[in-house]
């Protein structure tokens, strides 16, 4: 849109003071003639943009005219670019927005803001795997959330109607939090099919915040995941692996004289804990509860029977 481009021209001139039509054309990826018309349009609108003749001429923003559309403090600008900078690599829209915002920042902020934008590279793929694709329905659902449009879809082969309240990107697994006839519900996007956006709109609850709603979802899920606790002994050098497996459901305890650490781990069922620990063989010893020890014994017996010689 031309209005966006005129704003970009003004911000660029604010940053540099004087520019040529050719420089603007290169920066904004337009023709020199278009850049010159934009400069003339700003001048005609009463903005103090004037052509400067001569070998080192160009167009100049004079009289101290300035616009700072960001209103950001230096720490806020750095925080914003730290978060948004990595996303710009995969999103032309974010890259364009950051470029415009960079021009709107006071000059003293720009060096730190640019450094913040370049400080992090996001590689969501695990080793040996390709980068996961964003679910195809994310953009459409984002539009529905913003425009407050009701949606219809199939979920686990059941037709649903819902008010989309917000989206969550949880380690590249996307969730939709929505209002339904039965209250707030959470849906995995990879299980949603036949999505359509309705012409009907909805009003989101006045007291709803996405962060609070997700915190409650996480708390419920974590409580379900920690129904069974087991006490184990593991060599200290392997404790970090156990913590990686169980996350917040691994609580290290005291160190024994033999160098092992006593820790508590949790999962929904004794079988879930046993399945996770069985690959360690005798490296990890389970002290309690008996149900986990019994599951490990059962798994060991099955493996011994399956792979017994002869």
Residues 169 and 112 in one domain: no
DSSP character at residue 172: T
Positive or negative CA dihedral for 239, 240, 241, 246?
positive
The more confidently predicted of residues 35 and 101 is: 35
Residue 202 has pLDDT above 80, yes or no: yes
Residue 279 has pLDDT above 70, yes or no: yes
Residues 211 and 233 in one domain: no
Domain of residue 18, CATH code: 1.10.10.10
pLDDT band for 242, please (50, 70, 90 cuts). Answer: very high
Number of domains in the chain: 4
Quick: pLDDT tens for 6-21: 767 777 777 777 788 8
Instruction: Answer whether residue 128 is part of any domain.
Output: no
Q: What's residue 149's pLDDT?
A: 94
The neighbouring-strand residues paired with 177 are 166, 186
User: CA torsion, points 284, 289, 291, 294, in degrees to nearest 10?
Assistant: 40
Instruction: Answer whether residue 283 is part of any domain.
Output: yes
Instruction: Answer whether residue 132 is part of any domain.
Output: no
The more confidently predicted of residues 97 and 248 is: 248
User: CA torsion, points 231, 232, 233, 236, in degrees to nearest 10?
Assistant: -100
Do 228 and 268 touch, CB atoms closer than 8 A? yes
The more confidently predicted of residues 293 and 48 is: 293
Domain of residue 198, CATH code: 2.30.30
The neighbouring-strand residues paired with 139 are none
Residues 158 and 194 in one domain: yes
Q: Per mean pLDDT, which of 48-57, 85-94, 181-190 is the most reliable?
A: 181-190
Residue 46 has pLDDT above 60, yes or no: yes
> Which residue segment(s) compose the domain that 204 sits in?
138-215
Q: How far apart are CA 171 and CA 149, in angstroms?
A: 26
Quick: pLDDT tens for 281-301: 999 999 999 999 999 999 999
pLDDT band for 73, please (50, 70, 90 cuts). Answer: low
What does pLDDT average to over the chain? 82
pLDDT band for 63, please (50, 70, 90 cuts). Answer: low
Q: Any alpha helices (H) in the chain, and if so which ranges?
A: 2-16, 21-28, 32-44, 74-88, 92-104, 107-117, 138-147, 210-225, 239-246, 270-277, 290-306
Half-sphere exposure in the Cβ direction for 307 (13 Å, CA): 6
Mean pLDDT, residues 38-45 taken together:
78
Q: What's residue 180's pLDDT?
A: 94
């Amino acid at each position: 849109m031309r209005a966006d481009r005129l704003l970009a021209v003004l911000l660029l001139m604010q940053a540099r003071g004087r520019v040529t039509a050719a420089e603007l054309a290169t920066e904004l990826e337009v023709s020199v003639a278009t850049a010159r018309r934009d400069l003339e349009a700003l001048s005609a609108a009463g903005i103090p943009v004037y052509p400067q003749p001569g070998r080192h001429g160009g167009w100049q923003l004079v009289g101290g005219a300035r616009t700072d559309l960001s209103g950001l403090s230096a720490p806020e600008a750095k925080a914003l670019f730290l978060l948004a900078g990595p996303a710009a690599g995969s999103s032309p829209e974010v890259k364009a927005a950051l470029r415009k915002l960079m021009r709107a920042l006071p000059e003293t902020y720009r060096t730190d803001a640019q450094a913040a934008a370049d400080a992090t590279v996001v590689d969501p793929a695990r080793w040996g795997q390709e980068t996961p694709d964003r679910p195809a329905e994310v953009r459409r659902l984002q539009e529905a959330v913003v425009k407050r449009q009701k949606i219809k879809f199939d979920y686990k082969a059941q037709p649903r109607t819902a008010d989309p309240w917000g989206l969550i990107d949880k380690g590249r697994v996307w969730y939709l939090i929505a209002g339904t006839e039965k209250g707030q519900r959470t849906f995995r996007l990879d299980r949603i099919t036949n999505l359509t956006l309705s012409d009907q709109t909805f009003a989101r609850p006045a007291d709803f915040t996405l962060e609070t709603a997700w915190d409650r979802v996480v708390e419920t899920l974590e409580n379900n995941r920690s129904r069974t606790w087991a006490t184990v002994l593991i060599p200290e050098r392997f404790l970090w692996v156990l913590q990686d497996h169980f996350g917040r459901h691994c609580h290290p305890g005291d160190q024994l004289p033999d160098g092992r650490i006593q820790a508590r781990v949790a999962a929904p069922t004794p079988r879930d804990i046993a399945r996770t620990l069985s690959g360690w063989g005798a490296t990890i010893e389970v002290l309690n509860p008996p149900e986990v020890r019994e599951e490990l014994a059962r798994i060991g017996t099955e493996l011994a029977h399956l792979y017994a010689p002869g």
